[in-house]
Protein backbone atom coordinates (compact mmCIF):
# COMPACT_ATOMS: atom_id res chain seq x y z
CA UNK A 1 0.00 0.00 0.00
CA UNK A 2 1.40 3.39 -0.95
CA UNK A 3 1.93 6.30 1.44
CA UNK A 4 -0.73 8.34 -0.35
CA UNK A 5 -3.36 5.59 -0.27
CA UNK A 6 -2.73 4.99 3.43
CA UNK A 7 -3.33 8.65 4.11
CA UNK A 8 -6.58 8.64 2.10
CA UNK A 9 -7.96 5.70 4.01
CA UNK A 10 -7.04 7.08 7.41
CA UNK A 11 -8.34 10.58 6.54
CA UNK A 12 -5.58 11.98 8.69
CA UNK A 13 -2.96 14.61 8.01
CA UNK A 14 0.57 13.42 7.33
CA UNK A 15 3.00 16.32 7.28
CA UNK A 16 5.90 15.90 4.88
CA UNK A 17 9.27 17.62 5.00
CA UNK A 18 11.18 18.20 1.71
CA UNK A 19 13.19 15.01 2.16
CA UNK A 20 10.11 12.81 2.78
CA UNK A 21 8.54 10.58 0.11
CA UNK A 22 5.02 10.25 -1.24
CA UNK A 23 3.41 8.18 -4.01
CA UNK A 24 1.84 9.77 -7.08
CA UNK A 25 1.81 9.71 -10.87
CA UNK A 26 -0.48 11.43 -13.37
CA UNK A 27 -0.88 10.35 -16.99
CA UNK A 28 -3.49 10.14 -19.75
CA UNK A 29 -4.06 6.45 -19.06
CA UNK A 30 -5.83 7.16 -15.78
CA UNK A 31 -9.62 7.28 -15.75
CA UNK A 32 -9.55 10.51 -13.74
CA UNK A 33 -7.23 12.35 -16.18
CA UNK A 34 -8.05 16.13 -16.16
CA UNK A 35 -10.93 15.65 -13.67
CA UNK A 36 -9.00 17.67 -11.10
CA UNK A 37 -9.07 20.59 -13.57
CA UNK A 38 -12.85 21.07 -13.23
CA UNK A 39 -15.08 22.92 -10.76
CA UNK A 40 -12.28 24.27 -8.58
CA UNK A 41 -11.10 27.67 -7.43
CA UNK A 42 -7.58 28.46 -8.60
CA UNK A 43 -6.13 31.63 -7.12
CA UNK A 44 -3.40 33.04 -9.33
CA UNK A 45 -0.14 34.48 -8.06
CA UNK A 46 1.46 37.48 -9.78
CA UNK A 47 4.08 35.17 -11.30
CA UNK A 48 1.35 32.82 -12.55
CA UNK A 49 -0.09 35.72 -14.53
CA UNK A 50 3.29 36.69 -15.98
CA UNK A 51 3.84 33.14 -17.24
CA UNK A 52 0.31 32.57 -18.48
CA UNK A 53 -0.23 35.90 -20.27
CA UNK A 54 3.15 35.61 -22.00
CA UNK A 55 2.44 32.01 -23.05
CA UNK A 56 -0.84 33.20 -24.57
CA UNK A 57 0.85 36.29 -26.06
CA UNK A 58 -1.64 38.56 -24.34
CA UNK A 59 -1.21 41.80 -22.43
CA UNK A 60 -1.77 41.54 -18.69
CA UNK A 61 -4.89 43.70 -19.01
CA UNK A 62 -6.42 41.49 -21.71
CA UNK A 63 -5.55 38.33 -19.80
CA UNK A 64 -7.11 39.64 -16.59
CA UNK A 65 -10.32 40.75 -18.34
CA UNK A 66 -10.67 37.51 -20.29
CA UNK A 67 -9.54 34.82 -17.89
CA UNK A 68 -9.89 36.04 -14.30
CA UNK A 69 -12.25 37.30 -11.66
CA UNK A 70 -11.21 39.60 -8.81
CA UNK A 71 -12.17 39.21 -5.16
CA UNK A 72 -11.26 41.22 -2.07
CA UNK A 73 -9.30 39.22 0.50
CA UNK A 74 -9.26 39.41 4.28
CA UNK A 75 -6.71 42.26 4.23
CA UNK A 76 -8.91 44.28 1.91
CA UNK A 77 -6.50 43.69 -0.96
CA UNK A 78 -7.51 42.24 -4.35
CA UNK A 79 -6.92 38.57 -5.11
CA UNK A 80 -7.28 37.08 -8.57
CA UNK A 81 -8.86 33.74 -9.46
CA UNK A 82 -8.95 31.88 -12.77
CA UNK A 83 -12.32 32.14 -14.51
CA UNK A 84 -13.58 28.63 -15.17
CA UNK A 85 -15.66 27.62 -18.18
CA UNK A 86 -19.44 27.94 -18.37
CA UNK A 87 -19.90 24.28 -19.28
CA UNK A 88 -21.56 21.83 -16.91
CA UNK A 89 -18.22 20.64 -15.52
CA UNK A 90 -16.92 24.22 -15.04
CA UNK A 91 -13.74 23.16 -16.80
CA UNK A 92 -10.49 25.06 -16.88
CA UNK A 93 -10.43 26.98 -20.20
CA UNK A 94 -6.92 25.71 -20.95
CA UNK A 95 -7.63 22.00 -20.53
CA UNK A 96 -8.70 19.60 -23.29
CA UNK A 97 -9.30 15.83 -23.14
CA UNK A 98 -5.64 15.49 -24.18
CA UNK A 99 -4.40 17.61 -21.28
CA UNK A 100 -3.31 21.16 -20.48
CA UNK A 101 -2.61 23.44 -23.45
CA UNK A 102 -0.35 25.70 -21.38
CA UNK A 103 1.28 22.95 -19.34
CA UNK A 104 4.74 24.53 -19.45
CA UNK A 105 3.29 27.71 -17.95
CA UNK A 106 0.48 26.29 -15.80
CA UNK A 107 -0.24 27.95 -12.41
CA UNK A 108 1.62 27.17 -9.22
CA UNK A 109 -1.33 25.35 -7.62
CA UNK A 110 -1.51 22.99 -10.62
CA UNK A 111 2.24 22.32 -10.45
CA UNK A 112 2.31 21.45 -6.77
CA UNK A 113 -0.70 19.06 -6.92
CA UNK A 114 -1.27 16.69 -5.15
CA UNK A 115 0.71 18.43 -2.42
CA UNK A 116 -0.53 21.38 -0.42
CA UNK A 117 1.54 23.67 1.84
CA UNK A 118 1.19 23.22 5.59
CA UNK A 119 3.66 25.94 6.51
CA UNK A 120 2.86 28.71 8.98
CA UNK A 121 4.27 32.20 9.51
CA UNK A 122 6.72 30.69 12.01
CA UNK A 123 8.00 28.04 9.62
CA UNK A 124 8.17 30.61 6.81
CA UNK A 125 10.34 32.88 8.95
CA UNK A 126 12.53 29.92 9.88
CA UNK A 127 12.97 29.06 6.21
CA UNK A 128 11.24 25.71 6.62
CA UNK A 129 8.43 24.30 4.51
CA UNK A 130 6.07 21.40 5.01
CA UNK A 131 3.42 19.77 2.85
CA UNK A 132 0.64 17.22 3.02
CA UNK A 133 -0.90 15.06 0.30
CA UNK A 134 -4.38 16.26 -0.63
CA UNK A 135 -7.29 13.97 0.18
CA UNK A 136 -8.86 13.66 -3.30
CA UNK A 137 -10.93 10.44 -3.40
CA UNK A 138 -11.34 10.36 -7.19
CA UNK A 139 -7.61 10.80 -7.90
CA UNK A 140 -6.28 7.46 -9.16
CA UNK A 141 -2.80 8.92 -9.40
CA UNK A 142 -2.50 8.60 -5.63
CA UNK A 143 -2.68 4.82 -6.03
CA UNK A 144 0.22 4.69 -8.48
CA UNK A 145 3.47 3.08 -7.32
CA UNK A 146 5.86 5.85 -8.31
CA UNK A 147 7.59 7.07 -5.15
CA UNK A 148 8.92 10.62 -5.08
CA UNK A 149 10.75 12.82 -2.60
CA UNK A 150 8.97 16.13 -2.02
CA UNK A 151 12.08 18.14 -2.90
CA UNK A 152 12.59 16.21 -6.14
CA UNK A 153 8.94 16.59 -7.10
CA UNK A 154 9.15 20.34 -6.58
CA UNK A 155 12.26 20.54 -8.73
CA UNK A 156 10.69 18.46 -11.52
CA UNK A 157 7.58 20.64 -11.49
CA UNK A 158 9.54 23.89 -11.69
CA UNK A 159 8.43 25.10 -8.26
CA UNK A 160 11.63 26.93 -7.10
CA UNK A 161 11.18 30.03 -9.32
CA UNK A 162 7.53 30.25 -8.24
CA UNK A 163 8.54 30.17 -4.57
CA UNK A 164 11.17 32.82 -5.20
CA UNK A 165 8.64 35.17 -6.80
CA UNK A 166 6.00 34.33 -4.19
CA UNK A 167 8.40 35.28 -1.38
CA UNK A 168 8.53 38.83 -2.78
CA UNK A 169 4.73 38.94 -2.85
CA UNK A 170 4.41 37.53 0.69
CA UNK A 171 6.82 40.17 1.94
CA UNK A 172 3.96 42.58 1.26
CA UNK A 173 0.88 40.53 2.08
CA UNK A 174 2.27 38.92 5.27
CA UNK A 175 3.76 42.13 6.67
CA UNK A 176 2.78 42.79 10.30
CA UNK A 177 1.83 46.36 9.39
CA UNK A 178 -1.07 45.07 7.31
CA UNK A 179 -2.12 42.27 9.66
CA UNK A 180 -3.83 44.70 12.05
CA UNK A 181 -5.85 46.64 9.51
CA UNK A 182 -8.13 46.17 6.53
CA UNK A 183 -7.55 48.24 3.41
CA UNK A 184 -10.74 49.96 2.26
CA UNK A 185 -9.26 52.79 0.22
CA UNK A 186 -10.16 52.09 -3.43
CA UNK A 187 -7.07 53.91 -4.74
CA UNK A 188 -4.78 51.74 -2.62
CA UNK A 189 -6.58 48.60 -3.77
CA UNK A 190 -6.16 49.70 -7.38
CA UNK A 191 -2.48 50.49 -6.82
CA UNK A 192 -1.93 47.02 -5.36
CA UNK A 193 -3.84 45.33 -8.20
CA UNK A 194 -1.83 47.16 -10.86
CA UNK A 195 1.57 46.46 -9.28
CA UNK A 196 0.87 42.79 -8.58
CA UNK A 197 -1.27 41.65 -11.49
CA UNK A 198 -1.54 44.22 -14.29
CA UNK A 199 2.17 44.63 -14.95
CA UNK A 200 1.83 46.02 -18.47
CA UNK A 201 -0.24 48.82 -17.02
CA UNK A 202 2.34 49.33 -14.24
CA UNK A 203 5.07 49.61 -16.88
CA UNK A 204 3.08 52.38 -18.61
CA UNK A 205 2.64 54.07 -15.23
CA UNK A 206 6.40 54.08 -14.68
CA UNK A 207 7.40 55.29 -18.14
CA UNK A 208 4.48 57.51 -19.14
CA UNK A 209 4.08 59.46 -15.90
CA UNK A 210 6.51 61.56 -13.84
CA UNK A 211 7.60 58.48 -11.90
CA UNK A 212 11.19 58.47 -13.16
CA UNK A 213 11.39 62.23 -12.61
CA UNK A 214 10.37 61.70 -8.99
CA UNK A 215 12.36 58.65 -7.89
CA UNK A 216 16.03 57.83 -8.19
CA UNK A 217 16.19 54.67 -10.27
CA UNK A 218 19.49 53.30 -11.53
CA UNK A 219 19.81 53.40 -15.35
CA UNK A 220 20.48 49.65 -15.54
CA UNK A 221 17.24 49.00 -13.63
CA UNK A 222 15.33 51.28 -15.98
CA UNK A 223 16.63 49.31 -18.96
CA UNK A 224 15.73 45.97 -17.38
CA UNK A 225 12.15 46.88 -16.49
CA UNK A 226 11.44 48.16 -20.00
CA UNK A 227 11.21 44.62 -21.36
CA UNK A 228 11.71 42.07 -18.57
CA UNK A 229 8.46 41.24 -16.74
CA UNK A 230 10.22 39.47 -13.87
CA UNK A 231 12.48 42.46 -13.22
CA UNK A 232 9.44 44.74 -13.50
CA UNK A 233 7.60 42.62 -10.93
CA UNK A 234 10.54 42.83 -8.53
CA UNK A 235 10.56 46.61 -8.97
CA UNK A 236 6.78 46.77 -8.47
CA UNK A 237 7.14 44.96 -5.14
CA UNK A 238 9.72 47.55 -4.04
CA UNK A 239 7.26 50.27 -5.00
CA UNK A 240 4.57 48.63 -2.87
CA UNK A 241 6.99 48.37 0.04
CA UNK A 242 7.55 52.10 -0.29
CA UNK A 243 3.98 53.21 -0.92
CA UNK A 244 1.99 50.65 1.07
CA UNK A 245 4.32 49.75 3.94
CA UNK A 246 6.29 52.99 4.27
CA UNK A 247 9.64 51.28 3.77
CA UNK A 248 12.51 53.43 2.45
CA UNK A 249 13.38 51.13 -0.44
CA UNK A 250 12.93 53.86 -3.05
CA UNK A 251 14.51 57.29 -2.82
CA UNK A 252 12.88 60.52 -3.95
CA UNK A 253 15.19 62.77 -5.96
CA UNK A 254 16.69 65.60 -3.83
CA UNK A 255 15.30 68.41 -6.02
CA UNK A 256 11.82 66.92 -5.84
CA UNK A 257 12.10 66.57 -2.07
CA UNK A 258 13.32 70.18 -1.72
CA UNK A 259 10.48 71.48 -3.88
CA UNK A 260 7.96 69.57 -1.75
CA UNK A 261 9.45 71.01 1.45
CA UNK A 262 9.16 74.54 0.09
CA UNK A 263 5.58 73.85 -0.95
CA UNK A 264 4.76 72.73 2.58
CA UNK A 265 6.79 75.52 4.18
CA UNK A 266 9.26 73.11 5.79
CA UNK A 267 12.75 74.44 6.44
Average pLDDT, the chain: 90
Based on the fold, state whether residues 126 and 190 are members of the same structural domain.
Answer: no
Report yes or no on 54 lying in a domain.
yes
Based on the fold, state whether residues 89 and 165 are members of the same structural domain.
Answer: yes
Based on the fold, state whether residues 219 and 141 are members of the same structural domain.
Answer: no
**What is the number of domains present in the chain?**
2
Based on the fold, state whether residues 203 and 256 are members of the same structural domain.
Answer: yes
Report how far apart, in Å, the C-alpha atoms of 265 and of each of 214, 215, 255, 257, 259 are: 19, 21, 15, 12, 10
Which has more pLDDT, 11 or 112? Answer: 112
DSSP string, 114-141: TEEE---HHHHHTT---EEE---TT-GG
What confidence tier does 198 reach under pLDDT thresholds 50, 70, 90?
very high
Give the residue-averaged pLDDT of 89-99: 93
Parent domain of 247: 183-264
Query: What SS3 class is residue 99?
Result: strand
Report yes or no on 214 lying in a domain.
yes
The structure's pTM equals: 0.88
116-157 pLDDT tens trace = 998 777 777 777 889 999 999 999 999 999 999 999 999 999
Based on the fold, state whether residues 69 and 144 are members of the same structural domain.
Answer: yes
Based on the fold, state whether residues 136 and 230 are members of the same structural domain.
Answer: no
CB 114 within 8 A of CB 8: no
> What is the distance between the alpha carbons of residues 200 and 197, in angstroms, rounded to a whole number?
9
Based on the fold, state whether residues 158 and 32 are members of the same structural domain.
Answer: yes
Inform me whether the pLDDT recorded for 206 exceeds 90.
yes
Amino acid sequence: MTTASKQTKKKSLTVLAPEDNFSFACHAGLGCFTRCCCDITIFLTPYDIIRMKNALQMSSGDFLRTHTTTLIGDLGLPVVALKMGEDKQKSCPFVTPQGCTIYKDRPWSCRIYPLQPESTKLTEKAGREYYSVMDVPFCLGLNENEVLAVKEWKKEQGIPIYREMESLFKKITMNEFLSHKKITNKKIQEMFYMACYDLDRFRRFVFDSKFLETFEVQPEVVEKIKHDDVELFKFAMRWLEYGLLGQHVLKVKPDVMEAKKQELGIK
